[in-house]
Structure 1
Amino acid sequence: MKKRGIVPLLLAGQAVNGFGDGLWFSVWAIFFTRIQHIPAESMGLAIGIGGVAGFLAAMPVGTAADRYGPREVLVAVIALRGLASIAYIFAGDFWSLLVVSCCFSAVQSSGVGVRVSLVYQLLGKDDQLRVLAQGRVVQHIAYAAGAGVAMLVLADGSRSVFVASILVNAATFFITAVITLALPSVPSVPVERQRSGTEALRDLPYVGLMSTTALLALCWALLSSGLPLWIAEGTEAPLWTAGLAVALSSLAIALFQVRVSGRAVNIPRSVRASRVSAVALAGCCLLFAAAAWAHQALLATLVIVVGMAAHIVGELYYVSSRWGLSLGFMVKEAEGQYQGLTASTEAGTTALGPALVTSLVSGLREVGWVVLALVFLLSAAPVGSLARRALRDSRRVWWTDRAGEKEALS
């Protein structure tokens, strides 16, 4: 299949999957607490532990992608996610929700790395970052559409409509699996060249790079947990400002992700992108803290909007640098395993992020925002030295066509 046929299928899968995600993640909290009558504390604990399962599963599934082919493993993962989403209908207490959440999160996090590995192996170097960025744009637009449908579900409020929305979400996974199956199959790594299942874990420079930059993924917890809580408890800004922040973020991703990702096409630029992200996210935290000192609603809202502009820059550059570093520093014939490790580090931050951000913002208020700013700055500090160390290994993907970049990192 030619590239002209591959890219539309990849983007179509992202669109269908994004619609389902937007629908589900907009209704799940209300479904579990008001329809299934699970206490909010129990629900949060079950979902959080499920996130840990995602952290643990991503790398083994990535290794399986190397051994059995990324397309085949991705199809299985997507289909299993559909089945797990249906199982949510029958989760009526903490323990059943915990089991289903672990299964759902395991395949959700695993699929992220396998998909990046598939894109890498299907497309040439010049198209990989562009298509990954286009996929994120399409996914966010579809996500917004799914969230719009979720508003109708929430307005109705009946159990039957909630269950119907869950079945629609499950259907999107099965449709995505069929679309993915239409992509060309990528040959698995021959048995004699298969690498150890712990190859990526023993690659300390890569582990260091992915672990430190994964802290920048706290930007999502800032937007989903920290900022709404801060607006309600710490500022004079109206509550609808939190919704405005999400809308601005989605619009900016749709407009600028492809352009920004084009600036992370090699290792030095990816390193610089991680630093830009860290500085922008640190600035956003300081601006959010400053909103508490604005005693007029309009002024507080304006400060938060300026902070959101910094947040958007940080998120765009984080995603771009993450792709550039993870793809450039992979070891050939272990792409799935390396992307699984990348996904697992991000899954860990995503799982623990809401609790960390909420604790800092609620407990320490402005000081908590300053602590978060320092976390962002410190996360990018070792990236350059880790990248230079990683460049000593000639097995990496960048070696054959990116020679000379080592000097650019000094």
Structure 2
Amino acid sequence: MTNRPRRLLTLAQLANSLGDGAYYVTSALYFTEVLGLAPARVGLGLTLAWALGSLVGLPLGRLADRRGPRGTSVLLALGTSAAVASFLVVRGTVPFVLTACLYASAQSGLAAARQALLAGLVPARERTGLLARLQSTLNGGLAAGAAVGGLALGAGSAAAYRGALALDALCFLVCALLLLRLPAVTAAAVVGTVTGGRRFAVLRDRPYALVALLNAVLLLRLPLLSLALPLWITERTGAPAWLASGLFVLNTLAVTLFQVRAARAVTGLGSALRVLRRSGLVMLASCAVFALSAGRSAWPAGAILIAGAVLQVVAEMQQSAGSWQLSFDLAPADRTGEYQGLFGTGVTVARTLGPGVVTWLLLDWGTPGWLLLGVLMPVASYAMGPAARRAAGRRTPREAVRPALAGDCR
């Protein structure tokens, strides 16, 4: 594989993460202050949208297998761009919810289609390393985009908020153009068994579905930095509220700098499972350290929270590298998009259900909640072993067919 596809994949990741960073820090205030929507309606609308996104990721991933991942990725990137641009003109709750559903669906499908595209372009032994590089790029882009969004927040005007969202729409348009320049990958329906096989065979692949479910449990860490820790800091510790932002920056910089290095140890199924087990234990240690900050004054609590955040980001990088390897190694090559669509629902499920679960455990239960959440992580990571080995044992020689490089079927 030449460096050009890698470079284009990286630039496409940078483009959409830059826009996402600006969107994430400004969208809530734009929806409430500029569109005039009640916060409860915004929350409900986004919850419904991401619930739908978790359902459509699978059929959109199958579409990428049947019609070609490059063309599908381009269309979904354009769809995301159109959805964000539509936020600039919608008025009222119902149009907002419909636009949010389009946004979440396009984002979920794009994630699956891009994974299928990467699988068609990159040899199996190189995928985890490239995904680690893309994850580092994503975090760097999010940080830069968040800085742009911060300028919009500082200005506090409707025009500034609209400018941040317009930047996101433009960035996804650039992402689509970059993906279009990638080499085409033949649709799996042409070279594999998708056309004659069962529809949504991944739903009948119970071992793989179990691996995806266990991964969703491990992804309950996602709401920690954005929601649970800010509330924990202000309600249960004497640390200053701004420390929550500092912990987010620490996490982003660590992933940007060290994710590639963390992924080097993952080269196959065995090493992926070892790294996942280790990540579960480190996450347990992180939760236990976070729990120690309860009731502490500013400086002791701050030091404990920073230590917990360091352990948390180490666990995050290990879990990411291990799960990437499993998601590809256990999927039939002619159904990569379909399988990635199911595996990717773990993110949307964690983001939809995770905030309620995590805040209930941590804020209502306190230290026992932290410990329960921590114990859940090694339990899920150790359960990955038998589930993954059973999934690998179900693979057949026919399922190992690799999509060939050729003209994209659209």
What interval of TM-score do these two structures reach, taking the shorter chain for normalisation?
over 0.9
Residue 307 of structure 1 aligns with which residue? 308
User: CA 1:256/1:398 → structure 2, altered by over 3 Å: closer, same or farther?
Assistant: farther
Aligned residue runs from structure 1 range 30-49, under 5 A? 30-49=29-48
Q: What's the RMSD between the two structures over aligned residues?
A: 1.8
**Residues in 2 aligned to 1:169 and 1:69: alpha-carbon distance in whole angstroms:** 26
Residue 386 of structure 2 aligns with which residue? 385
236-245 or 372-381, which deviates more: 372-381
User: CA 1:398/1:141 → structure 2, altered by over 3 Å: closer, same or farther?
Assistant: farther
Aligned residue runs from structure 1 range 39-118, under 5 A? 39-118=38-117
User: CA 1:400/1:267 → structure 2, altered by over 3 Å: closer, same or farther?
Assistant: farther
Aligned pair count reads 399
Cα shift at 1:397 = 9.7
Cα shift at 1:232 = 0.7
Report the AA paired with residue 225 of structure 1: L
Aligned residue runs from structure 1 range 5-404, under 5 A? 5-190=4-189, 193-194=193-194, 195-294=197-296, 296-395=297-396
- Asked whether the equivalents of residues 133 and 260 of structure 2 are also in contact (C-alpha less than 8 Å), the reply is yes
Cα shift at 1:400 = 9.7
TM-score of the aligned structures, taking structure 2 as reference length: 0.93
Where 1:103 maps in the other structure, the secondary structure is helix
Cα shift at 1:377 = 2.7
Runs of 4+ in 1 over 4 A off after TM superposition: 396-401
User: CA 1:398/1:236 → structure 2, altered by over 3 Å: closer, same or farther?
Assistant: farther
- Asked whether the equivalents of residues 332 and 401 of structure 2 are also in contact (C-alpha less than 8 Å), the reply is no
**Residues in 1 aligned to 2:308 and 2:52: alpha-carbon distance in whole angstroms:** 33
Report the AA paired with residue 224 of structure 2: L
Q: Deviations over 1:2-48 (max 9, x none)?
A: 52111111111011111101100010111112222212122111111
Q: Deviations over 1:31-79 (max 9, x none)?
A: 1122222121221111111110110010000100110000110001110
Residue 406 of structure 1 aligns with which residue? none
Cα shift at 1:86 = 1.1
**Residues in 2 aligned to 1:22 and 1:74: alpha-carbon distance in whole angstroms:** 20
Report the AA paired with residue 173 of structure 2: F
Identity across the alignment (%): 28
- Asked whether the equivalents of residues 333 and 400 of structure 2 are also in contact (C-alpha less than 8 Å), the reply is no
Where 1:291 maps in the other structure, the secondary structure is coil
**Residues in 2 aligned to 1:170 and 1:269: alpha-carbon distance in whole angstroms:** 39
Q: Deviations over 1:234-271 (max 9, x none)?
A: 10111111011111101110111111112121001111
**Residues in 2 aligned to 1:397 and 1:115: alpha-carbon distance in whole angstroms:** 23
Where 1:200 maps in the other structure, the secondary structure is helix
- Asked whether the equivalents of residues 237 and 297 of structure 1 are also in contact (C-alpha less than 8 Å), the reply is yes
User: CA 1:237/1:374 → structure 2, altered by over 3 Å: closer, same or farther?
Assistant: same
- Asked whether the equivalents of residues 57 and 108 of structure 2 are also in contact (C-alpha less than 8 Å), the reply is yes
User: CA 1:349/1:68 → structure 2, altered by over 3 Å: closer, same or farther?
Assistant: same
In structure 2, the gaps of 5 or more residues are 403-410
User: CA 1:397/1:291 → structure 2, altered by over 3 Å: closer, same or farther?
Assistant: farther
Report the AA paired with residue 187 of structure 2: S
Report the AA paired with residue 175 of structure 2: T
User: CA 1:364/1:95 → structure 2, altered by over 3 Å: closer, same or farther?
Assistant: farther
**Residues in 2 aligned to 1:26 and 1:244: alpha-carbon distance in whole angstroms:** 15
Cα shift at 1:188 = 0.7
Where 2:64 maps in the other structure, the secondary structure is helix
**Residues in 2 aligned to 1:289 and 1:93: alpha-carbon distance in whole angstroms:** 42
**Residues in 2 aligned to 1:286 and 1:396: alpha-carbon distance in whole angstroms:** 45
User: CA 1:396/1:263 → structure 2, altered by over 3 Å: closer, same or farther?
Assistant: farther
Report the AA paired with residue 334 of structure 2: E
Where 2:334 maps in the other structure, the secondary structure is coil
Cα shift at 1:396 = 7.2
**Residues in 1 aligned to 2:400 and 2:174: alpha-carbon distance in whole angstroms:** 38
Cα shift at 1:204 = 0.6
**Residues in 2 aligned to 1:80 and 1:261: alpha-carbon distance in whole angstroms:** 32
Cα shift at 1:127 = 2.1
User: CA 1:333/1:304 → structure 2, altered by over 3 Å: closer, same or farther?
Assistant: same
User: CA 1:234/1:6 → structure 2, altered by over 3 Å: closer, same or farther?
Assistant: same
TM-score of the aligned structures, taking structure 1 as reference length: 0.93
**Residues in 2 aligned to 1:151 and 1:65: alpha-carbon distance in whole angstroms:** 36
In structure 1, the gaps of 5 or more residues are 402-410
**Residues in 2 aligned to 1:395 and 1:241: alpha-carbon distance in whole angstroms:** 51
Cα shift at 1:398 = 10
- Asked whether the equivalents of residues 57 and 341 of structure 2 are also in contact (C-alpha less than 8 Å), the reply is yes
User: CA 1:397/1:233 → structure 2, altered by over 3 Å: closer, same or farther?
Assistant: farther
**Residues in 2 aligned to 1:397 and 1:276: alpha-carbon distance in whole angstroms:** 33
Residue 405 of structure 1 aligns with which residue? none
